[in-house]
Amino acid sequence: MKDDYKTKEDLMKELDEVNRKVVEIENCKSEFRKVQEKYEKLLNSAPDALVFVNNQGRIVMVNARTEKMFGYVNNEVAGKGLEMLIPERFRSKHREHVAEFFLKPRVHPMGSSFEIYALKKDGEEFPVDVTLSPLNTDEGLLITAAVRDITKRKQAEDQIELNYHIQRVINSMLKISLEPLSLEEQFERILDLMISIPHLSLQSKVAIYFAEDDKPEVLVMKAHRGFSKEERIPCQRIPFGKCLCGMAASLSETVYSNHINKRHEIHNEKIFPHGHYCVPIVSGGHTLGLLNVYIREGHKRSGGEEEFLTSVSSTLASIIKHDKTDQEKKHLQVQLAQSEKLAALGRFTANVAHEIRNPLTAIGGFARRLDKNIPAGTKEKEYANFIITEVTRLEGILKNVLAFSRDITPHPEKHNIHEIIERVLKINEETCREKSIAVHTSYNDMTPIFIDETHVHEAVENIVLNAIDSMPAGGSLNITTDKKVIEGIPFMYVEVKDTGVGIPQNKLDMIFEPFFTTKITQKSTGLGLSITKKFVEEHGGFIEVESVADAGTTFTLYFPYRLKP
Strands 475-486 and 437-443, sheet pairing: parallel
Hey, which residues does 414 pair with through a beta bridge? 450
Nearest to 500 by CA among 543, 459, 428, 549: 549
Sign of CA dihedral 308, 309, 312, 314: negative
The yes-or-no verdict on residue 400 having pLDDT over 70 is no
Whole-angstrom distance, CA of residue 66 vs CA of residue 85: 10
Highest mean pLDDT among 24-38, 126-140, 233-247, 328-342: 126-140
Backbone phi, then psi, for 255, in 5-degree steps?
A: -115, 130
Which residues lie below 8 Å from residue 181, measured CB to CB, with a gap of 6+?
Answer: 189
Give residue-wise pLDDT tens across range 105-153. Answer: 888 777 556 788 999 999 999 999 888 888 888 778 888 888 999 888 8
The yes-or-no verdict on residue 86 having pLDDT over 50 is yes
Which residues lie below 8 Å from residue 528, measured CB to CB, with a gap of 6+?
Answer: 400, 462, 465, 466
The yes-or-no verdict on residue 498 having pLDDT over 90 is yes
Please report which confidence band the pLDDT of residue 481 belongs to, taking 50, 70 and 90 as the band edges: very high
Q: 325-352 burial, b for 16+ CB within 10 Å, e for fewer?
A: eeeeeeeeeeeeeeeeebeebbeebbee
* pLDDT attached to residue 232: 66
- The total of other beta-carbon atoms located within 10 Å of residue 26's CB is 10
Chain centroid, CA 41 distance in Å? 60
Q: What is the pTM of this model?
A: 0.48
Nearest to 287 by CA among 341, 328, 250: 250
Cβ atoms of residues 374 and 384 within 8 Å: yes
Q: Which residue has the higher pLDDT, 419 or 40?
A: 419
Give residue-wise pLDDT tens across range 303-320. Answer: 777 888 888 888 888 888
The yes-or-no verdict on residue 525 having pLDDT over 70 is no
